[in-house]
Amino acid sequence: MEIEDRNLIIHVGREVDHMEAEKIRHDFEECYLKGNIKNVIFDMSEVEFMDSSGIGMIIGKYMKVRYVGGKVFVTGVSDNIDRILKMSGIYKIVSKRDNIFQALRSC
């Protein structure tokens, strides 16, 4: 995870299941307490597998930052992961960008 200004970039691992989501939840809490975070960018470029744990992970961050007017982005989404994200309806609350740079420009 990296912080740029008030934007937190989370590099998500290859397989987003219960374990990976828990790891990210734990790391996020540490970063969140330290920094004055507004927006969250999930870099999904490495992700090959995802189940509903990934949806919970993204919704959880959205619930946190929306109180400070923050936004949540997903970037580097493969076709397969896009299919799962679309099906979950999560694009109603988070936006997709091609890469981290583009997401940072939208923050």
Partner 1 sequence: MADIQRMSIEFGCEPDNESFARVAVAAYAARLNPTLEEISDIKTAVSEAVTNSIIHGYYGRTEGKIIIECEIKEDRLMVSVTDMGVGIEDISKAMEPMYTTRPELERSGMGFVFMEAFMDEVTVESTAGKGTTVKMSKKITSDEQINDDLSMAVGYN
CB of 61 to partner 1, least distance (A): 9
CB of 17 to partner 1, least distance (A): 5
Amino acid at 79: D
CB distance 96 to 74 below 8 Å: yes
CB of 33 to partner 1, least distance (A): 16
Q: Considering beta carbons, is residue 63 or 106 the nearer one to partner 1?
A: 63
Q: Considering beta carbons, is residue 32 or 49 the nearer one to partner 1?
A: 49
Query: Would you tell me the crossing angle of helices 79-88 and 52-65 to the nearest 10 degrees?
Result: 60
Judged by the rule CB under 8 A, the positions of this chain that interact with partner 1 are: 15, 17-19, 21-22, 25, 49-53, 55-57, 59-60, 80, 83-84, 87-88
β-pairing, 2-4 with 7-11? antiparallel
Q: Considering beta carbons, is residue 18 or 66 the nearer one to partner 1?
A: 18
CA proximity to 42, closest of 105, 104, 92: 104
Euclidean distance between CA atoms 90 and 71, whole angstroms: 13
